A and B are shown apart, each in its own frame.
Chain A
Amino acid sequence: MSINVLMPALSPTMEEGKLAKWLKKAGDRVKSGDVLAEIETDKATMEVEAVDEGVIAQILVPEGTENVKVNTPIAVIAAEGEDASAAPVQKQAGAAPAAAKSTAAPAAPVAAAPPDAEIPAGTKMMTMTVREALRDAMAEEMRRDGDVFVMGEEVAEYQGAYKVTQGLLQEFGAKRVIDTPITEHGFAGIAVGAGMAGLKPIVEFMTFNFAMQAIDQIVNSAAKTLYMSGGQMGCPIVFRGPNGAAARVGAQHSQDFTSWYSNIPGLKVVAPYSAADAKGLLKSAIRDPNPIIFLENEIMYGQSFEVPEIEDYLVPIGKAKTVRPGKDVSIITWSIGVRYAMNAAVELEKEGIDVEIIDLRTIRPMDLEAILTSVKKTGRCVTIEEGYPQSGVGAEIAAQVMTGAFDYLDAPVVRVTGKDVPMPYAANLEKLALPSIPEVVAAVKSVLYR
Chain B
Amino acid sequence: MPATRAAPAVKAARKPAAEATPNLPVTPPAVFSREEELESYRMMLLIRRFEEKSGQMYGMGLIGGFCHLYIGQEAIVTGVQMASKDGDAVITGYRDHGHMLALGMDAKGVLAELTGRRGGLSKGKGGSMHMFSREQHFYGGNGIVGAQVSLGTGLAFANRYRGNDNVSLTYFGDGAANQGQVYESFNMAELWKLPVVYIIENNRYAMGTAVTRASAQTDFSRRGISFNIPGEQVDGMDVRAVKAAADKAIAWCRAGNGPYILEMQTYRYRGHSMSDPAKYRTREEVQKVRDESDPIEMVRSRILDKKFATEDDLKKIDGDVRNIVNEAAEFATNDPEPDASELYTDILI
Contact with B along A221-239 (1 / 0, CB 8 A): 1000111111111100000
Bound Cα distance from A227 to B346, whole angstroms: 5
Closest residue of chain A to B159 (Cβ to Cβ) is A197
Select A216's contact among B139, B140, B147, B185, beta carbons within 8 Å: B147
CB pair B123–A189 under 8 Å, yes or no, is no
A29 within 8 A of B: no
Select B188's contact among A181, A227, A228, beta carbons within 8 Å: A181
Bound Cα distance from A199 to B158, whole angstroms: 7
B120 within 8 A of A: yes
Query: Which A residues touch B89, using CB under 8 A?
Result: 197
Q: Could you say which of B139, B159, B191 has the most chain A C-beta atoms within 10 Å of its C-beta?
A: B139
Closest residue of chain B to A195 (Cβ to Cβ) is B154
Select A230's contact among B123, B159, B184, B185, beta carbons within 8 Å: B123
CB pair A226–B349 under 8 Å, yes or no, is yes
Select B139's contact among A149, A187, A233, A266, beta carbons within 8 Å: A233
B266 within 8 A of A: no
Per the CB 8 Å criterion, the residue count for chain A at the interface is 39
CB pair A183–B140 under 8 Å, yes or no, is no
A289 within 8 A of B: yes
B209 within 8 A of A: no
Contact with A along B140-168 (1 / 0, CB 8 A): 11111001011111111111010000000
B265 within 8 A of A: no
The number of inter-chain residue pairs (CB within 8 angstroms) is 142
Query: Which B residues touch A187, using CB under 8 A?
Result: 150, 184, 188
B347 within 8 A of A: yes
Bound Cα distance from A30 to B183, whole angstroms: 49
Q: Which of B10-18, B126-134, B249-257 interfaces with chain A?
A: B126-134
CB pair A233–B134 under 8 Å, yes or no, is yes
Query: Which A residues touch B84, using CB under 8 A?
Result: none
Bound Cα distance from A217 to B91, whole angstroms: 15
Taking A193-B152, A229-B122, A265-B347 as contacts, is the C-beta distance between A217 and B147 under 8 angstroms?
yes
CB pair A226–B140 under 8 Å, yes or no, is no
CB pair A221–B120 under 8 Å, yes or no, is no
A25 within 8 A of B: no
Contact with B along A179-196 (1 / 0, CB 8 A): 011010111111111111
Residues of B within 8 A of A (CB): 89, 91, 120-127, 130-134, 139-144, 147, 149-159, 161, 180-181, 183-185, 187-188, 191, 345-349
Selected A-B contacts with CB under 8 Å, 26 pairs: A175-B161, A181-B184, A181-B191, A185-B150, A185-B180, A185-B181, A186-B184, A189-B147, A190-B153, A191-B154, A193-B139, A193-B151, A196-B139, A197-B154, A197-B155, A220-B147, A225-B130, A227-B125, A228-B126, A229-B130, A229-B131, A230-B124, A230-B346, A231-B346, A232-B122, A289-B349
